[in-house]
Structure 1
Amino acid sequence: MLMLSLIGIGCGDPQQLTQAAIGAINAADLILIPRKGTAKSDLAELRRSICADVLTSARTRIAEFDLPVRDADDPDYRKGVDDWHDAVAAVWSREIANHLGGEGRVALMIWGDPSLYDSSLRIARRLDPLPAIEVIPGITSIQALCAAHALPLNEIGEPFLVTTGRLLRENGWPAGVDTIVVMLDGGAAFQTLDPEGLQIWWGAYLGMPDQIIMAGELAEIGHRIVAARREARERHGWIMDSYILRR
């Protein structure tokens, strides 16, 4: 049978690997490493470094491949994402067939938050043939963000909400909560809010050597975050950031 292991590797710090993740990496017959273009080459390098550090199985093969790019200009957001997932699944299926065939264990190391926004499980369920799927959980960027700021996420007895930059920009502050976590924000959507009375805890490249964190009153540091974010994107060619807002 064919088994696919989706292995959470945290947000960039190899020391965040769990023993379960190390075991799953070494149990694999094939490890697939996606390349996301030169702008995100350090993500592929992170996976290579993890293999160099913890992979001891001589029989495990490593194959790299280029990921399709999502059409960010598609006016139908959901259709654009579905089309992209289909394209990624086709590439996964092709690489598995070329390097492993229909039997064995294939692994993908998942960076970031597979439970929230990585979509690896949605893609995995489109593979042909459909493999058995296991998930090895890892540190999420929400955990890393809270740890970086030594911050408890929720107030005592109070809920919080995880949302996206797109929804925050389109709909404003969600009703019924005073704490929100914002992810997948390509354009600093907090700028669309009235900053008075809001605190922000922001972080980029969490767990990586280039980690940046900033915190304070949004009215006072919002512009500094925007500037730091712009400079970091220009330097690296990409940015993945998240933040917590509280009122």
Structure 2
Amino acid sequence: MRQILVIGIGTGNPEHVTMQAVAALNGVDAVFVLDKGYDKAALVRIRRQICERYITARPYRFVEAPDPERDRAPADYPAAVDAWHEARADLYEAMIAGLGEDECGAFLVWGDPSLYDSTLRIIDRVAARERVAFTHRVIPGISSVQALAASHRIPLNRIGAPVHITTGRLVAEGLPAGADTVVVMLDGDPRFDHLDPDLTIHWGAYLGTADEILRAGRLGDVGDAIREARREARARHGWIMDTYLLRSPTRS
């Protein structure tokens, strides 16, 4: 039966790839990649570099397909995401169907497949259609949350305190009541004016890579500088992957 591997590859540094992932890669016949266009061509290039560096045991093919267009400002966000997932499921199904009956294909996922990534949900959707038979397995990876904490040399949580992980879309409505530490992902246009300026922020882009950018401090002091650094980095590279941690003022 066809086998699918969903492999976490970290945040852009080939050395984030785990030994488990390397072993898994050396059993694949095809690597599947969705091309997100010119601005994000580097994301495809990094996946190619990882394959070229680590797959040494056998020949493999690199299969690319254009990522479906997505409405970035929909009136109905859940419906728009569902439609996008359905379009992606069509592509995934075609890719998987292109495998031989006993072949193995892999999707290389930025960060970790379990955290704010749609790959596993879409594969479940394809499986539920029951039009192509396959099994699948997940190989975990280093997430941007872990990479952020490592680069800033901080623990994610205060002693005995929780960590809340959310998205920029939800932070736009304010932080959760009583939140001590909040990690924000997928924030395409960070705005901090509505947040407590006494929060501490740890921000990072291109984490773990040679292009890594880090900023930290009191939000009211460094918020504008972070937005400017982010704007300049996006203009220079054509894309940006960043995340940040917000922490309430030190408790007495």
Corresponding residue of 2:90: 90
The answer to whether the 8 Å contact 1:168/1:189 transfers is no
Shift in Å, 1:34: 2.1
Corresponding residue of 1:110: 109
Aligned mates of 1:223, 1:23 — CA distance in 2:
44
In structure 2, relative to structure 1, the CA distance for the partners of 1:53 and 1:2 (3 Å cut) is: same
Shift in Å, 1:105: 1.1
Corresponding residue of 1:210: 211
| Mapping for residues 188-199 of structure 1, pairs under 5 Å | 188-195=190-197, 197-199=198-200
Residues paired across the two proteins, number: 244
- Could you tell me which amino acid in structure 2 is paired with residue 194 of structure 1? D
The answer to whether the 8 Å contact 2:97/2:132 transfers is no
Shift in Å, 1:190: 2.8
1:15 aligned onto 2:18 = no
Corresponding residue of 1:187: 189
Shift in Å, 1:55: 0.7
1:157 to 150, 156, 160: 160
Corresponding residue of 2:224: 223
| Mapping for residues 1-247 of structure 1, pairs under 5 Å | 1-98=1-98, 100-127=99-126, 128-129=131-132, 131-170=134-173, 172-195=174-197, 197-247=198-248
The answer to whether the 8 Å contact 1:36/1:67 transfers is yes
Mean Cα displacement is larger for which, 103-112 or 1-10? 103-112
- Could you tell me which amino acid in structure 2 is paired with residue 75 of structure 1? A
Structure 1 gap segments, 5+ residues each: none
Mean Cα displacement is larger for which, 104-113 or 220-229? 104-113
Structure 2 gap segments, 5+ residues each: none
> What TM-score, normalized to structure 1?
0.94
- Detail structure 1 runs of 4+ shifted over 4 Å in the superposition: none
> What TM-score, normalized to structure 2?
0.92
Shift in Å, 1:194: 2.8
Aligned mates of 2:63, 2:54 — CA distance in 1:
17
Shift in Å, 1:102: 4.2
Aligned mates of 1:113, 1:190 — CA distance in 2:
27
The answer to whether the 8 Å contact 2:7/2:113 transfers is no
Shift in Å, 1:149: 0.2
Aligned mates of 2:204, 2:147 — CA distance in 1:
9
Deviation string, structure 1 residues 150-184 (Cα, Å, up to 9, x no partner): 000100111110111111112x1201321100111
Deviation string, structure 1 residues 47-96 (Cα, Å, up to 9, x no partner): 10011111113342221221112111321111111111111111121123
The answer to whether the 8 Å contact 1:166/1:189 transfers is no
The answer to whether the 8 Å contact 1:69/1:84 transfers is yes
Deviation string, structure 1 residues 91-122 (Cα, Å, up to 9, x no partner): 12112323x14442111111123211111100
SS in 1 for 2:246: strand
SS in 1 for 2:92: helix
Aligned mates of 2:244, 2:218 — CA distance in 1:
13
Aligned mates of 1:56, 1:194 — CA distance in 2:
51
Identity %: 50
